[in-house]
Structure 1
């Protein structure tokens, strides 16, 4: 059984149609969560999307939706980090709510138990990247700061504050746990992988000239890392899936995707590793109605048995109409062992794209 895909959506709700002005719709803006579930294996699988909750207080934040959030998953636990309200996101710096310092947690096996605030961060900067190391340390990369921050999820007390690699002012394009006690972070502008020794809080250069592509060629691309430390990149400019072995510093294989996988450079695309050699591209597009967007789901598998020319099979394509104005986060969660006893509602349906 493949992973469940959780999609975090912002929604402006009723006041969008009642009020005018720049902030129309923000006073009852909410967060919403959807789950995409795939049944079985191979072509023709049933793919469904449904809302996780049936009310609007998705993150227990009164009156305002939380935008600019980041997410990580440990087992069945989904963590949502920080965020800001719609007014702050729109440039109203006089908003009294400012940015959230809370990290909220949801047990996806029992979503009706609701969100809970599990700890508080010592800063209010927007988080633009996060990685969990050894299922214990959560490392965050604030957007507007020149340091990264580590928080012990287990004891909720121990903290680490250390400079970002090369004292950079921008967060990495992606980061991942490479091995016990080690984190690697990729800076696209430098085309360099940096390694963090978590015990000593020291950065070193792990791999210079990591990718054979320019900064411009990587524009609009999406990164994903599997459990074996293989980096997969949907190279938007070339409509191609490429892969690299981080541990062995080795370029692996590339496979061209069909022209139907061209989504344009403006629409956000998320590459997801579902299982071994099986992937999904998820992207969204705003409709004419500000409060409706369409999420497109394309699942495909790659056979590397026919090297040097791996073959690709598009297994399923769907689109889902969502009551929201945009996607905030996409995360995957392993399904519960007994899928039949899961209390996650997956009764909703999807449409074939037109």
Structure 2
């Protein structure tokens, strides 16, 4: 049994079809969550998707400020600790689309959902000291959650266990000009990914500098872990997706070359670069693409397909495996490709959760299906 994949989608409301103008669809926008379940391994019709909640507007029920239906969230980030799914900060669709600098509808909360019992709903477990989007977050030792907020000069560490302790430390790179940049995608002071390297340490990758930084969490000190990290330019890495497996191996879907790269972070060396078939060019350049490590040598790519109707979006799921038996000529095997209608305005977060040991007792509804792209 492979990992459960949870997908956060923001959806415009029915007013999209009832009135015209830039605010149509925003007054009654909602959040929604889907779960993708994969049965077994290998080829076959074994991938299913379904909504986690019966009603989309119930997703953030009981989270204080989120009691109005139009506050569908953008600019959130998600992490998983055990079976607990944490959603960090965010702003509403209306605020983000009309005035990016508006702070009134940006949120400080970290909300939590127990994926074993999703019917229990969300709870607010931490209040952030800032109102901003969080493009990158990392969990260290299943206790400390480190955040790299956009337009903030500091990195923050939160003790999830006690819900009170906070660490504040400078970011690894100090790019003062970032305060004048209009979009998070142009922000060079926040890393594009970070991960826990070993107990008490994390590493963060700053793409423009092509440098891995290491944080000693106990002493709150940054050091350069690996300079000239990858043999690719900043522009070549744009649009790429990063994923780290349980052994600390970093995988990158290098979109510009349709290539899967693997890198041993601890030993600071590139392992393999496997060119994928041309059919693995997914979506348009502006589409959302996510690489996920499912299990050893098994991966999937998720992308958000554009359509003429923004509320008729599809999630495209393609699973593949890579055999490294012949290191000079690794073999890529495409196993399963499906598409699922999510009727979503924008896919915001994709996170993976290990299923409970007793899968049969899981209360997550995984009925549903999809169709194979023609």
TM superposition shift of 1:351? 0.5
1:37 maps onto 2:37 in alignment: yes
1:281 maps onto 2:301 in alignment: yes
TM superposition shift of 1:96? 7.7
* Contact 1:85-1:97 within 8 A present in 2 as well: no
User: Counterparts of 1:39-188 in structure 2 under 5 Å?
Assistant: 39-55=39-55, 56-60=57-61, 61-63=66-68, 64-92=71-99, 97-168=104-175, 169=178, 170-188=189-207
Structure 1 residues 240, 93: closer, same or farther in 2, change over 3 A? closer
TM superposition shift of 1:44? 1.3
* Contact 1:236-1:265 within 8 A present in 2 as well: no
Structure 1 residues 292, 208: closer, same or farther in 2, change over 3 A? same
User: Counterparts of 1:1-354 in structure 2 under 5 Å?
Assistant: 1-55=1-55, 56-60=57-61, 61-63=66-68, 64-92=71-99, 97-168=104-175, 169=178, 170-263=189-282, 264-354=284-374
- In structure 2, how many angstroms separate the alpha carbons of the residues matched to 1:76 and 1:68? 23
Extract unaligned runs of 5+ from structure 2: 179-188
SS at match of 1:305: coil
Deviation sequence 1:137-175 (CA, Å, 0-9, x none): 000001111111000001111110011012234210100
* Contact 1:147-1:167 within 8 A present in 2 as well: no
- In structure 2, how many angstroms separate the alpha carbons of the residues matched to 1:326 and 1:124? 21
2:183 aligned residue: none
Extract unaligned runs of 5+ from structure 1: none
SS at match of 1:87: helix
Q: Provide the TM-score with structure 2 as the length reference.
A: 0.92
TM superposition shift of 1:94? 9.0
- In structure 1, how many angstroms separate the alpha carbons of the residues matched to 2:194 and 2:97? 28
SS at match of 2:223: strand
- In structure 2, how many angstroms separate the alpha carbons of the residues matched to 1:231 and 1:74? 20
Report the number of matched residues.
354
2:182 aligned residue: none
Deviation sequence 1:109-159 (CA, Å, 0-9, x none): 110011111111111121111000000000000111111100000111111
| Cα RMSD for the two superposed structures | 1.3
* Contact 2:135-2:192 within 8 A present in 1 as well: no
- In structure 2, how many angstroms separate the alpha carbons of the residues matched to 1:149 and 1:11? 30
- In structure 2, how many angstroms separate the alpha carbons of the residues matched to 1:93 and 1:42? 44
TM superposition shift of 1:105? 0.3
TM superposition shift of 1:266? 2.1
Q: After the TM superposition, list the runs of 4 or more consecutive aligned residues in structure 1 that deviate by more than 3 angstroms.
A: 92-97
